[in-house]
Amino acid sequence: MVDDDESVHQVTKLVLSDANIEHRSLEIVSAYSCIQAQEILKGDDSFCMAFVDVVMETDHAGLELVEWIRKDLKNQAIRLILRTGQAGNAPESRVIKEFDINDYKEKTDFTSGKMITTVYASIRAYRDIMTIQKSLDGFKKLIEVTHDLLKIDQFKLFGSAALNHLLTLMDVESSALYIARNQFDFNHECSNMIIACTGKYVSESDNLDTSNIDEAVKVQIKRVFEDKKHYLSEECFVGYYKTANNSCSVLYIDFEDNPEHFKLNLVEMFANNVALILETLTKLHDMENSQKELMYIVGEAIEAREEAKGSHVKRVALICELLAKKLSLDSQFVSAIRLAAPLHDIGKIAIPDEILRKHGKLDENEWQVMKTHAEVGCDLLEQSKTSISKLAAKIAHFHHENWDGSGYPDALAGNDIPIAARIMAIADVFDSLGSKQCYKDSWGEDDIKAHLLKERNNKFDPQLVDIFIEHFDEFSNIRVNYPDKKKN
């Protein structure tokens, strides 16, 4: 109420004393001048409407207040009802046209009935504006968080980020939040996975059945998977999202308080985006696993030709990965070198068995044949256009080059040798020395350290040798965790 006449305040409060709108009573705050109204509005932006008198400390104080609210305060939501007892000072036709008000009333014609009707209409209009504004704000947040989620390429990180963003987006308290996924394979067997969870019953297990999530929650999630439709109650929301012909996801939200403010439409948009991103991540994850397994299989097949029954290719892949991390190389490169490393000796498929399996030292002709495996491996891998294969081709081609230029096939030296090949060179020798092979026994750790230091600046990049010596136990633990297979 903005009016310099105390009696107007008293009458208005009397008329509206029993009003109950949207199940809420009214709080009426009085201001007796334009300046006082400005001070109140500066400190509180929660007013839904205002009755504003035109003539107060000046003949146009009310109009100036309206202009200040809209232009300076930039409050477009509050409903402004102009009331005047001197219409001549502010004719209705001009005021409606020139000022951003929502209604115009002459005090002499403003009955109690019209006042109540005006208040109801104004508050409902304010409610609708705020609903639209919240939806717009939510949509903006949705776009922002979806953009952030697209940057995450790991299941656990993705799931945790999705749940945290969802809580912020909905502005609702939740004591538990889960994302679960079902997938059917080509044999029509179903596998399920807990992608992420937060709040109570946080589970370390990735499997829904073996997780320590409350049994009632498990039952509800499984029921939604079976029914293929959403479930909403006073206690929880369980959303169903089909993402492909053979897979679907379920989002479980356990309400901590009254779900009155739960924004189902916002959750729908967000969850659909999450489910689609999740499906893409899953496909990438499956492809990466398949690619990794195939590369290990090929690498182990080459190893088997040399009558070895070890885990050399797995260890070398992990050693290369760890060494790349110690060098603080790009995370994508770290992942790629682990995938590419098992193919470092793929060119040996072209080497005759009598050379590959020979016990003892190779003669000069045999050695020349053996050295061709580097270029053969590169030629094979370069036929593929994938980035992993291109990296593997470099490793296969250059991993026998030496830091001092004495290696083969191109006699490269120093930093001219690709970093992936330099990493592979030391990883390959380190693991080979520590493994028993058909032509030698395994070396002890002290002898391996001494050999690496001896070949520093000769065969190996000195920086890599220094890292190996500093973190020797970490590299040695890889051999402990992935020991050679016992021979029959």
DSSP one-letter code for 123? H
Residue 228's region, left for phi above 0, alpha for psi from -120 to 50, else beta, is left
CA dihedral for 221, 226, 232, 234, sign (positive or negative): negative
Do residues 1 and 54 make contact, with C-beta atoms less than 8 angstroms apart? no
What residues contact 289, with CB distance under 8 A and at least 6 apart? none
- Chain centre to alpha carbon of residue 61: 53
Name the strand (E) or helix (H) holding 266: helix 264-305
Do residues 158 and 149 make contact, with C-beta atoms less than 8 angstroms apart? yes
Helix (H, G, I), strand (E, B) or coil at 6: helix
321: number of Cβ within 10 Å: 21
Helices assigned H by DSSP within 329-386: 331-340, 353-356, 364-371, 373-381
Distance CA 18, CA 38 (A): 28
Helix (H, G, I), strand (E, B) or coil at 79: strand
Tokens of residue 271, six digits: 């969850």
Query: What are the percentages of helix, strand and coil residues in the chain, rounded to 5?
Result: 55, 15, 30
Report the catalytic residues: 348
For residue 451, give Cα distances in angstroms to 81, 315, 349, 416, 430: 89, 19, 29, 23, 9
What residues contact 340, with CB distance under 8 A and at least 6 apart? 295, 388, 389, 391, 392, 395, 420
DSSP one-letter code for 487? P
Distance CA 482, CA 307 (A): 18
